[in-house]
Chains A and B, each alone.
Chain A
């Protein structure tokens, strides 16, 4: 227990910072869509950017991922998962919509 107590970990401020940032990053896209403040193109762009930032906020303040504090192999697995995710999701969407486009011609 002494070990755990002296271990430098997240504090109350980390969780509250994460919470406030997450609320702001949720309110912005919901507000834009709800009040139709912008045309569709920019709105989608804001949704994507806010989502990516919010994922990073969650990883940092709730899951406590840090480039220095998190063990290297955990970061490696995380990066590998992101790579798989980009290949599989990006690839599926690319192929299927390309196919859709060609079938329509």
Chain B
């Protein structure tokens, strides 16, 4: 608790109204982002039949690999939840530790995805091969870019926690970053249910 009081003079407190307004604005952003993803899903589904004689999902996708990615994201969502709980309890060190665990899992997810992309491109199944692969790389790549930015934001958050402490503005940002991170996990449910599982069937 000494962290929070030491810095409260420098950082103005947020009123509950201001906090709700910021959360609402961020929520609108998330919903528009959901619509972007929905349209990329629609594009993928329309293009997925156009393999142009090239490799199909059955040839390219590895279920254990996708399951590993799914678990990494799901566990990272839970560890971010632990960070949120530590923040509410006013334990700065706990927040930093859980955020670092979350960032490591996020990096692991992006690394697995890049490995998959590199393997596909190496066997001539890059985004230029067919409509199916263009749709695949656009959709899954956009999600991967979101996770990468989210991981970067988590590291920035750790920096803010270490320099500013658990001030009201930092807590408010942490809450919005949590929304973003959990949202990415929801998009991933769509990706494995629409792209990977039907692709392997």
Chain A positions within 8 Å of B, measured between CB atoms, are 1, 3-5, 9-12, 14-16, 18-19, 22-23, 26, 29-30, 33-34, 40, 43-44, 47-48, 50-51, 54-55, 58-59, 62-63, 71, 73-74, 77-78, 80-81, 84-85, 88-89, 92-93, 96-97, 100
Contact = CB atoms under 8 A, between A and B. Distances in A.
Contacts of A89: 38-39, 41-42, 45
Interface string B80-95: 0110110011100000
B63 A26 contact: no
Contacts of B192: 26, 30
A19 B179 contact: no
Contacts of B197: 29-30, 33, 47
Question: Nearest 5 CB-CB pairs, A to B?
Answer: A15-B81, A51-B193, A81-B31, A92-B42, A62-B182
Nearest to B82: A15
A77 B28 contact: yes
Nearest to B34: A81
A52 B111 CA distance: 28
B81 A96 contact: no
Interface residues of B, number: 51
A15 B34 contact: no
Interface in B172-201: 179, 182-183, 185-186, 189-190, 192-194, 197-198, 200-201
A51 B190 contact: yes
A59 B186 CA distance: 8
Given A4-B88, A100-B49, 20 more contacts: A3-B16, A12-B85, A15-B85, A19-B77, A23-B71, A33-B197, A33-B201, A44-B198, A48-B193, A50-B193, A51-B190, A55-B189, A62-B81, A62-B185, A71-B24, A74-B27, A88-B35, A88-B42, A89-B39, A89-B42
Given A19-B74, A93-B45, A81 B90 contact: no
Nearest to B193: A51
A4 B87 CA distance: 10
B51 interface: no
Given A18-B78, A78-B31, A89-B41, A4 B171 contact: yes
Nearest to B78: A19
Nearest to B200: A33
Contacts of B70: 26, 30
